[in-house]
Copies of this chain bind each other. A is one copy, B any other.
């Protein structure tokens, strides 16, 4: 699919079928994320792919408790991809995870999948939350600034009108 079409069709999906992703599809998505740049070429991101339902439900419960959001859900998506970065690289970690997630958004569109950026991870730091990350072998010194849910879309969300100001000094 032409990149113009990918960029124009990319949307945030919030409803998914129950169909899980096979590992080949996941690897194709991650290949494109890993190809995306990192500040100073640090390549210090780690990707954690979760389709295990018990882990997903535990994470929703623990996060919902800390966020004060009853029934907090990953939108029923079968697959969650966490991107984590070492905390000691500061804002570069936020940048690098955002770059990877942008690449994943495009990659999901390219492969006919739906995706939605999940931004609540950076607000979570409870002991129970950290224990789940530890169980996922995410290093202690890493922060999950954001993640992405992915799955086969159950419906197509309407396109959003986009407009941002541009100033020229040519």
Contact = CB atoms under 8 A, between A and B. Distances in A.
Interface string A119-156: 10010000000000000110000000110000000000
A32 B7 CA distance: 7
* Copy total for this chain: 2
Contact of A164 (B10, B46, B165): B46
A36 B4 contact: no
Given A98-B99, A102-B102, A103-B102, A166 B37 contact: no
Contact of A167 (B34, B41, B44, B49): B49
A43 B103 contact: no
Contact of A98 (B51, B55, B94): B94
A16 interface: no
A133 B50 CA distance: 44
Nearest to A6: B3
A49 B166 contact: yes
Contacts of A167: 46-49, 136-137
Nearest to A8: B35
Nearest to A122: B91
A168 B43 contact: no
Contacts of A119: 39, 92, 95
A163 B160 CA distance: 35
Nearest to A48: B167
Nearest to A26: B168
Interface in A14-55: 20, 23, 26-27, 30, 32, 34-37, 39, 41, 43-52, 55
